[in-house]
Amino acid sequence: MTEAEAQLIEQAGRKLGPKGVITDPKEIEPWVTDWRGRVHGNSPAMLAPASTEEVVEIVRLAGEHRVPLVPQGGNTGMAAGATPPADGSAILLSMRRMNRIRSVSAESRLAVAEAGVVLATLHDAAHEVGMRFPLTLGARGSCTIGGLASTNAGGTQVLKFGTMRSLVAGVEAVLPDGSIHSGLGGLKKDNRGYNLDQLLIGAEGTLGVITAVALRLVPAIVARAVAWTGVDSPAKALELLRFLEARTSSIEGFELVPQDSLDLVLKHVPGTRPPLAGKHQWHALVEATTADPQADVAAELQRLLGSALEQGIIGDAVLAASEAQAEAFWKLRDTISEAERAEGPTLAHDISVPVPDMPGFILDAAAKVEAAFPGVVASGFGHLGDGNIHFHVRAGTHAAPGWYESEGEAITQLVDDLVTAAGGSISAEHGIGQLKRAEFARLAPPGRIHALRAIKQALDPLGIMNPGKLIP
Amino acid sequence: MTEAEAQLIEQAGRKLGPKGVITDPKEIEPWVTDWRGRVHGNSPAMLAPASTEEVVEIVRLAGEHRVPLVPQGGNTGMAAGATPPADGSAILLSMRRMNRIRSVSAESRLAVAEAGVVLATLHDAAHEVGMRFPLTLGARGSCTIGGLASTNAGGTQVLKFGTMRSLVAGVEAVLPDGSIHSGLGGLKKDNRGYNLDQLLIGAEGTLGVITAVALRLVPAIVARAVAWTGVDSPAKALELLRFLEARTSSIEGFELVPQDSLDLVLKHVPGTRPPLAGKHQWHALVEATTADPQADVAAELQRLLGSALEQGIIGDAVLAASEAQAEAFWKLRDTISEAERAEGPTLAHDISVPVPDMPGFILDAAAKVEAAFPGVVASGFGHLGDGNIHFHVRAGTHAAPGWYESEGEAITQLVDDLVTAAGGSISAEHGIGQLKRAEFARLAPPGRIHALRAIKQALDPLGIMNPGKLIP
């Protein structure tokens, strides 16, 4: 611990009290490694403010002592963006004690949640007033609103409702100079200069600490229908999505699943079974929902899938007959990563290309990767309607120890090169954090890197906000 | 003309050819005054690039010679944001020759339009492929896509589709260092750092020149229904909107009109007549649309208004029986400003407060302004569902010459103080430009002003992009 860190910790302790300053290494330990266990950091203390004013105090002290802060919510990020540096040169700033839902209103269709509110808690609060916060993802039981906003999180309902960027109505944040940016007014229209809310969303804590977020709510779902379909190709899956979207506004989930991913799930995940009798090269999981008590969303989906079958868009389809079966269908999708890990080492790539190009990209990129690295198996699954798939490369038959280290970097570079050549993004929803920083630096246009660095330097000239993350 | 300006103009001429450099004062003259005729500027030349590469050349020359540029589209802005300074110290950069629609696709639901494309032209192009670009406003025949994005324009369909900010899928721009920011990929998900697209939207040309925009399209309307309703108060109007929104997703226009505004329209605008037989203190114009050929949107609106009448939410309602009558209803709304000007001097304020607070704000602010400035008449009309009204103060019975000058500033300051106290915005959709800069400087928190200045300085250190606009 440096002298500056010791002073900061002591002064913070006087302001925040014992609950606000954790220095016991055993209590800090679970929070200095990213949740996938790939990056290990260190920090001499974890500060845990209970209010925006306490965050202001901490940011001022950080500036005064030139000690950087690493903001953290539920520590569920996929790019190690909330993991402190290994040399202990930064202080962890846990936002989990700021966990109050300040307001939730069906009339204004808004909730204001502090940064540390867990997503599932917000879901419940919205539900209690007959509304819904329509973003969800696997980590909903532990990820926090501040982290979701800071990483512009996505998830499985983006197709209809967009990412956090489109669901955030306003942001409250402490900027690196200790001033409070207050965008929580819930104004639907406000043209007073640069939109700092949008700048802070997806900034991964490098421009300030998000302390609270105003979030858009939508009417609660009264019914949903879930179907599993078999299709010949990703192109047919996209054709099905377009077919459905042209005829109904109820589609909110649409996930592509290749046969070999399904096979691995059936092999490794207990209690799973194939939804369709025959074999299909590809599958699409479809979820339709409605907030209208009069609408029969299951009948509508059944009718539309019947037409799609007649027109040769799909090969087969089955509608979940119960909520349990709907959950079982979703489980087949949600356990793909787990099943792949059970089979052997897997390299995951969270990538996007323009939606119309995605079907071609999946097949083309998989063929190129398999040709360049004989023995590996490459495939893409996930949010086809968002142009975002998780492109996974499995070691396949030659899963030698050290495969990750020996071939991993070269495979990822090839995938990222293919994505970049296709006009896509090497980080669709997971962010840059620490893990994708080198690839971002390698592939981003110089003008973009210059602009990002200039903005970072302008708002955080002392470099106290989440150093070593995002900015190449 | 300074020596530096002369050199820039000469060198630009060599790159752009005669069509790209206009120095005839008669040709420049129409473009150096804002369209409301309130701010008069001067410029020794108007540069008119035909391509992004030509914009790059111009921006590089501007940096080299330290001569600022004032980007301009259709020159229809409400805050003089595209009017050059009066001392001729900046060069006008007309984007109107960059008027190509690069692509328009029903499949990807996107159009890519260059900055100089006129809004009405884009509407037509979308219509030709069975789609629609759902933002419109009075100046649609001359305003341009670049200007709409640079000012985050709103209009009458924001209720359902949002402002430009939510309709822009990507921005291409030339940054002040001459690099091209290219966000036109049409990626639905991309988490590679700060969102420059969103930073450029609403930046009023102070951070770079928008050269093209990717825009979201929605299915074309197949039917619309327009109704005029009489209500007791703005609160009842908002209750009607909530009542309708809870029962249908077809509402896309909802405009509040006070009786005295309607009276002025009936008095001054030829060919207008009252839609309802009785008198009502307030009115709401409702527009419902559908893209579904099977939906009967008129019957649905009629049924819902019938229920609202039974429940005492509204006092009366009439559905337009024809497209001509629908247009006549809209004309009553669209000619309010014109009718007010015919009656006498009017101070216009484009303001917003949180939607639930707007009904109370309208009555309260009007009472306070009328009490503080005896003889004036204050009222609000417009986009109630967006929390955005045009709060107009008319000279009323004491319209002495020089009223604007003698009382105007004090009245506007009172209105802006009331808006700020209500947590609102002194510029909901028109931007800051030149006209609201002093009030923005007076009322914005110091931390916000600091952040805006820091970002401006970081991206435009030479100050060549639209000086004297937006930034206090």
Q: Chain A residues with CB inside 8 Å of B154's CB?
A: 189
Per the listing, tokens 């989930």 go with A253
* Cβ contact A192–B427 (<8 Å): yes
- Pairing state of beta strands B110-114 and B101-105? antiparallel
Q: Is A291 on the interface with B (CB under 8 A)?
A: no
What residue of A is the nearest CA neighbor of B207?
A194
Answer yes or no: are the C-beta atoms of B46 and B94 closer than 8 Å.
Answer: yes
C-alpha span between B419 and B432 (Å, rounded):
15
Q: Chain B residues with CB inside 8 Å of A246's CB?
A: 219
**Neighbour-count burial for B74-94, b at 16+ CB within 10 Å, e otherwise:** bbbbbbbbbbbbeebbbbbbb
From first to last of its 472 residues, what are the pLDDT tens digits of chain A? 899 999 999 999 999 999 999 999 999 999 999 988 889 999 999 999 999 999 999 999 999 999 999 999 999 999 999 999 999 999 999 999 999 999 999 988 899 999 999 999 999 999 999 999 999 998 999 999 999 999 999 988 999 999 999 999 999 999 999 999 999 988 999 999 999 999 999 999 999 999 999 999 999 999 999 999 999 999 999 999 999 998 998 999 999 999 999 999 999 999 999 999 999 999 999 999 999 898 999 999 999 999 999 999 999 999 999 999 999 999 999 999 999 989 988 999 999 999 999 999 999 999 999 999 999 999 999 999 999 999 999 987 766 778 887 899 999 999 999 999 999 999 999 999 999 999 999 999 999 999 999 999 999 999 999 999 999 9
What is the sign of the dihedral through the CA atoms of B148, B149, B151 and B154? Answer: positive
What residue of B is the nearest CA neighbor of A152?
B191
Sheet holding B91-94, edge to edge: B21-22, B46-47, B91-94, B69-72
pLDDT in tens, B69-117: 999 999 999 999 999 999 999 999 999 999 999 999 998 889 999 999 9
Q: Please state the rounded mean pLDDT for residues B336-365.
A: 94
Q: Is B471 on the interface with A (CB under 8 A)?
A: yes
Structure tokens at B55: 């914009």
Q: Is B158 on the interface with A (CB under 8 A)?
A: yes
Q: Please state the rounded mean pLDDT for residues B402-414.
A: 90
Cα angle B444-B447-B451, degrees, rounded to a multiple of 5: 100
* Cβ contact B165–A423 (<8 Å): no
* Cβ contact A191–B428 (<8 Å): yes
- Pairing state of beta strands B91-94 and B46-47? parallel
- Amino acid A398: pLDDT: 64
- Residue contacts between A and B (CB atoms, under 8 Å): 214
Structure tokens at B211: 């050269």
Partner residue opposite A107 with nearest CB, options B158, B187, B242: B242
User: Residue B171, SS3?
Assistant: strand
Written as one string, the DSSP assignment of A208-250 is -EEEEEEEE-EEPPSEEEEEEEEESSHHHHHHHHHHHHTT-S-
C-alpha span between A302 and A286 (Å, rounded):
11
* Cβ contact A451–B190 (<8 Å): no
Sheet holding A46-47, edge to edge: A21-22, A46-47, A91-94, A69-72
pLDDT in tens, B238-260: 999 999 998 998 999 999 999 99
**Which A positions 196-215 lie with beta carbon below 8 A of chain B?**
196, 198-199, 201-203, 207
* Cβ contact B454–A451 (<8 Å): no
B115: left (phi over 0), alpha (psi -120 to 50) or beta: alpha
Q: Is B425 on the interface with A (CB under 8 A)?
A: yes
Helices (H) and strands (E) in chain B, counts: 17, 18
Q: Please state the rounded mean pLDDT for residues B44-58.
A: 98
C-alpha span between B229 and B285 (Å, rounded):
6
Q: Is A31 on the interface with B (CB under 8 A)?
A: no
**Which A positions 427-466 lie with beta carbon below 8 A of chain B?**
427-432, 440, 444-448, 450-452, 454-455, 457-459
Partner residue opposite B354 with nearest CB, options A187, A451, A457: A187
What residue of A is the nearest CA neighbor of B167?
A166
Q: Tell me how close the Cα of A375 comes to any Cα of chain B, in angstroms.
A: 31
- Amino acid B107: pLDDT: 84
- Amino acid B318: pLDDT: 98
Q: Is B307 on the interface with A (CB under 8 A)?
A: no
Question: Does the pLDDT value for residue B348 go beyond 90?
Answer: yes
C-alpha span between B21 and B31 (Å, rounded):
14
Partner residue opposite B179 with nearest CB, options A185, A189, A447: A447
As a whole number, the mean pLDDT across chain B is 95
Question: Does the pLDDT value for residue B398 go beyond 70?
Answer: no
Residue A404: enclosing H or E segment and its boundaries?
none
User: Residue B380, SS3?
Assistant: strand
- Amino acid B403: pLDDT: 83
Partner residue opposite A175 with nearest CB, options B163, B219, B451: B451
C-alpha span between A198 and A214 (Å, rounded):
13
C-alpha span between B68 and B71 (Å, rounded):
10
Q: Is A423 on the interface with B (CB under 8 A)?
A: yes
Q: pLDDT exceeding 90 applies to what percent of chain B?
A: 91
